[in-house]
């Protein structure tokens, strides 16, 4: 009797990444890509009616960030397991994903074989964190708790402009990016700083000498 394939969906804000993952995984009979999405809301809507074993989940999404999507999936669809697959390697984000129920986490430079191994391990009820992720989490334990979070150059630009009182549209115009991208950076900054609003974001940025 043929073993059933692991029903897997991909959630990533870049269509090229989705196509690449589909190409990588289609060569493995144990994996069945049942659907793919570019937003958090879309996959949550899909899960209401479709059984899924594994969700490959990016952190950076244009509507609901992956950290929150992971929490909702864990609470509402406990039979569906999430595997974080992202470029984000900040310990604070990985720990938030773990807190919200992620069963594994890989960086996007992982090989196809490791990705399939991670999917299989998680489907079998185990946890799987890539060696790079394990090293990041281990080193973060000894880091100074008061050390500021690592920000990308673009995030620093956006943070400075927020502190200067610029609106989303003004920031978008100045940096030649879309307002939606500005809002994504804003959400990422709030998450990294572990605050709830822009005022608290600016205060902690000043306290930590980030601006």
Per DSSP, 194 falls in state: T
- Burial level of 145, CB count in 10 A (0-12/13-18/19+)? exposed
Position 90 scores a pLDDT of 86
In this structure, how many other beta carbons lie within 10 angstroms of the beta carbon of residue 82?
Answer: 26
Position 2 scores a pLDDT of 45
User: Which backbone phi and psi does 167 adopt, to 5 degrees?
Assistant: -80, 170
Beta strands in 58-187 (DSSP E): 81-86, 104-107, 128-129
Q: Answer positive or negative: Cα dihedral of 108, 111, 113, 114.
A: negative
In this structure, how many other beta carbons lie within 10 angstroms of the beta carbon of residue 148?
Answer: 14
Global confidence as pTM? 0.70
Position 36 scores a pLDDT of 97
Position 1 scores a pLDDT of 34
Position 8 scores a pLDDT of 97
**Half-sphere exposure of 81 toward its Cβ, with a 13 Å CA cutoff?**
19
Rounded Cα gap, residues 87 and 68, in angstroms:
17
Beta strands in the chain (DSSP E): 6-11, 31-37, 54-57, 81-86, 104-107, 128-129
Position 141 scores a pLDDT of 57
For the chain, the residue count is 211
CB 122 within 8 A of CB 152: no
CB 64 within 8 A of CB 94: no
What are the mean pLDDT values of the chain's consecutive 10-residue runs (211 residues total)? 81 95 91 96 96 96 93 95 93 88 93 93 92 81 62 88 86 91 88 79 76 70
Structure tokens, 66: 């992956």
């Amino acid at each position: 009797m043929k073993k059933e394939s692991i029903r897997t969906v991909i959630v990533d804000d870049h269509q090229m990444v989705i196509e690449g993952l589909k190409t990588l995984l289609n060569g493995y009979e144990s994996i069945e890509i049942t659907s793919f999405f570019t937003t958090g809301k879309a996959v949550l809507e899909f899960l209401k009616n479709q059984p899924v074993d594994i969700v490959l989940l990016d952190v950076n999404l244009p509507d609901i960030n992956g950290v929150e999507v992971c929490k909702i999936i864990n609470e509402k669809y406990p039979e569906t397991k999430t595997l974080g697959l992202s470029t984000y390697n900040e310990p604070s984000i990985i720990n938030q994903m773990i807190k919200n129920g992620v069963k594994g986490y890989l960086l996007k430079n992982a090989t196809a074989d490791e990705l399939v191994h991670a999917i299989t391990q998680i489907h079998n009820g185990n946890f799987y964190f890539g060696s790079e992720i394990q090293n990041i989490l281990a080193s973060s334990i000894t880091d100074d708790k008061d050390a500021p979070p690592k920000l990308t150059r673009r995030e620093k630009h956006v943070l400075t402009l927020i502190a200067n009182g610029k609106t989303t549209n003004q920031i978008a115009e100045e940096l030649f990016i879309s307002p939606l991208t500005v809002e994504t950076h804003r959400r990422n900054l709030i998450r990294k700083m572990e605050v709830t609003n822009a005022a608290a974001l600016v205060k902690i940025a000043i306290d930590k000498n980030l601006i």
